[in-house]
A and B are shown apart, each in its own frame.
Chain A
C-alpha cells in the first residue's frame, strides 16, 4: 500500500512538472495576483496630511506639534490657532473630501498635567477608509510622541495616545488584502487542481487503468490529495514571501502554527475538489465549479466586506464557508500573533467541516461504476 501511495505521489509530481499550464497556475499566478491586487491598494503612505486641534495652545503643546510636522511624515493641514473651537464634525467633512487624513487633538490641560508629572492622553483621529495609511500614521505619531516625552520629562512615556478611526478600518488595507489574496489563491488552486486532475484522468481513460489495479479508492485519493496539499502549501509560502518581503506586511505570529492550520484548511478545500470531481464529467465543468465556489468563498469570507457589516442572513451563510475561518486564522496569526487558544473556535469549525466533506467525497468516490 505504501509503495502504491508513494508511486502515486511521484506520478502526480512528474505530471505537474511536465504541464506548463499547471506550473503557471501554481507558481506564477500567486505572484501576479499579489502584485496586481497589492498595488491596486494605495501603498503610498509617506505623506499624511495632518490637522491639528490644539486646545492647550501652550509652549509645550506647540513643541509637540512642531515635532510632528518636522519629519517627512506629515503635511500640515488646518490648525486651530484661535481659541475658537472647531467642532469635530468639521473633521469628518475634511476626511470625506480628502483634504485631511489624520488629526491630532491636544487637550486643554496638556501642559499643566505634564509639569505636574501626571499622565496625559492625546487624541488621534484617522480616516479609516485608508486604514493602511492610518495605521502607519499612528505608528509615526507613537514614535514622535515617545521621543518628545523622553526629551521633556526623562520619564518613560507619560503621554498616552487614544486613537480612533472614522469609518471602517478594515477595508482596502494591504495588510488585510494580502492574507485575503493568499487564502483565495490557496482555495482556488487546491479545489481546481484536485477536481480537474481526477476528471482529466477519467476523460483520458487513465482512471480506468488505475481502477483495475488493486490500489484502493482511498489510497488513490490520498495520493492525489497529498500532492496537491504540498503544492498548495508551496503556493502559500511563495505568496506570503511576496507579501512580507515586497509589501512589508507584518508576520507577528508563529509560521509553524500557520502552516499546520493551513493543512487543516486544505482538508476542506481538497475534499471539495474531490467532491466536485465525483459530480462532474468534464474538465470544463470541474473548472467552472471550482471557479464559482472560490468566488463564493471569497465573497463570504470577509475578504472585502467585514462579516459584521453584512446583513444577518448573509452572516449565517458565511458559517458554511471554510475560507471564512481560515481568513480569521491568517489575519490573527499574521497581524496579531494569535495562538491556538485565540483561534480555537475557528480551528474547531475547520476540523468539523474538513472531516465531513472529506468523508463524504471518499464515500462517493467508488472504484466500480453502477
Chain B
C-alpha cells in the first residue's frame, strides 16, 4: 500500500426532492486500501457509491475517483473502476461465461484476452463448474462470486462493492474476503459496504454512516479504543443507539 489517494470526496451531498440522502460527506481512500463503508439500512451508502461510479449526479460537493472529476469526467472514471451493485445484476437468462464474455467486450477486451482472464478468474474463485449454467439458477454464494468475476474482468484500479456478501453463508464469506485481500495485495483499491461486523474487522479503515452523514472514520482498532467498546459490534450498536436517542 502506498500513500497515493485514489478516491477523494469533499462535502458530497445528494438530495432527492426535499429529502437529503447524503449530507456533506468527505472522505479519502488510499491506493491498495480496503475501505469499509458501514451504516444502517437507508444510511446513504449506496447513494454515495452510485455518485462515485458516475451513475448519479451529486447535488453539491466535489470528488475525484482515480484522478478524474466525478462531476465532469464520469466516463473516464468508468474505465478505471469495477462495480458490483447491491442487487444481483447479471443477465439471469445467460450463463456465467456468456455474462463474462459480454462484459469483457463491453470494456473493449478481445475474445482471446477475455478467455485467458475467465480461465484465471474461474480458477481463483473456483467457478469452473458453474460457468456454463444460467446465472439465475446459481446458489447465492456462487452468484456473488460470478458478479465479482465480472466486475474485475477488466482489471480495474478501484473496486466498488455494494454489500457483496449480503445473505451469503459464513464459509463463502471467508473465501470471498480472502479473494478481496489478494486483489488488494495486487494493488487494487477496494471500497466495500457491509452489514457484518466481522467483515468490518478485515478492513484497513472503516467509516460509519448515519442518516446521510459520516459519524465515525478510522481503523477498526482506533474506533473500538476510542469508544471503549469490547468489540466493533458493540461499538456500532452503541453508536447508532446513542444517535437515535439524541434525535428523539
Contacts and interface: CB of A to CB of B under 8 A. Distances in A.
* Secondary structure dominating the interface of B: loop
Sort chain A's interface into a size bin: 20 to 34
B192 to A, nearest CB: 16
Interface in B88-133: 88-94, 98, 101-103, 105-110
A24 interface: no
A365 to B, nearest CB: 14
Contacts of B106: 4, 7-8, 210, 213-215
Max chain B C-beta neighbours (<10 A), residue from A3, A15, A18, A216: A3
Given A11-B94, A14-B98, A4 B89 contact: no
Contacts of B102: 7, 10-11
A143 interface: no
B90 A212 contact: no
Contacts of A344: none
Sort chain B's interface into a size bin: 20 to 34
A6 B75 CA distance: 20
A210 B101 CA distance: 13
B56 interface: yes
Contacts, number: 80
Contacts of A367: 54-55, 74-75
Contacts of B93: 14-15, 18-19
Interface in A203-255: 204-206, 208-216
B83 interface: yes
Interface in A8-49: 8, 10-11, 14-15, 18-19
B89 A214 contact: no
B53 interface: yes
Interface string B122-154: 000000000000000000000000000010000
A214 B91 contact: no
Contact of B94 (A4, A8, A15): A15
A19 B93 CA distance: 8
Given A15-B94, A208-B85, A214-B75, A6 B55 contact: no
Max chain A C-beta neighbours (<10 A), residue from B89, B90, B109: B89
Contacts of A8: 106
A6 to B, nearest CB: 7
A85 to B, nearest CB: 75
B223 interface: no
Given A11-B91, A214-B75, A208 B105 contact: no
B27 to A, nearest CB: 20
Interface string A172-212: 00000000000000000000000000000000111011111
7 contacts: A4-B106, A206-B89, A206-B90, A208-B85, A208-B89, A367-B54, A369-B57
